Amino acid sequence: MLKIYHNSRCRKSREGLEILKNSDKEFEIIEYLKEPLTENELENLINKLEITPIQLVRKNEKIWKEKYKDKDLSDRELISVMVKNPKLIERPIVESDNKAVIGRPPSDIEKLL
């Protein structure tokens, strides 16, 4: 079953959710701001995305600019920062059993369908 890591306040995330609703696939909505990911879950997701942790960070968020932008953080530290501040995680993310994509643009979600 597919999972979408969703933020209902984000337009791109809402567009991604619509793509899933219009598909014939079953999916689960994970509201990651309300139910934060664990470090292990986030690390597994990053592995499925085939990216580095810094590539998942929303660098225009105020908290990133104020607290972390100028720090030299390890991958482990970046994962910890995103777990503590889930607003920093790019969205939407759609995950299948063995792969995941960031829905930016939302049409990228179709790669999993």
For residue 10, the domain's CATH number is 3.40.30.10
Q: Which two tokens stand for residue 113?
A: 């369908």
Tally the domains of the chain: 1
CA 100/CA 14 separation, integer angstroms? 17
| Prediction pTM value | 0.94
What is the full per-residue pLDDT of the chain (113 aa) written as tens digits? Answer: 999 999 999 999 999 999 999 998 999 999 999 999 999 999 999 999 999 999 999 999 999 999 999 999 999 999 999 999 999 999 999 999 999 999 999 999 998 99
Angle 10-13-14 from CA coordinates, rounded to 5°: 85
From the list 5, 7, 10, 96, the catalytic residue is 10
**Residue span of the structural domain in which 97 resides:** 2-112
**10 given a catalytic annotation:** yes
Q: Residue 102's pLDDT is what?
A: 98
Q: Which two tokens stand for residue 94?
A: 């759609």
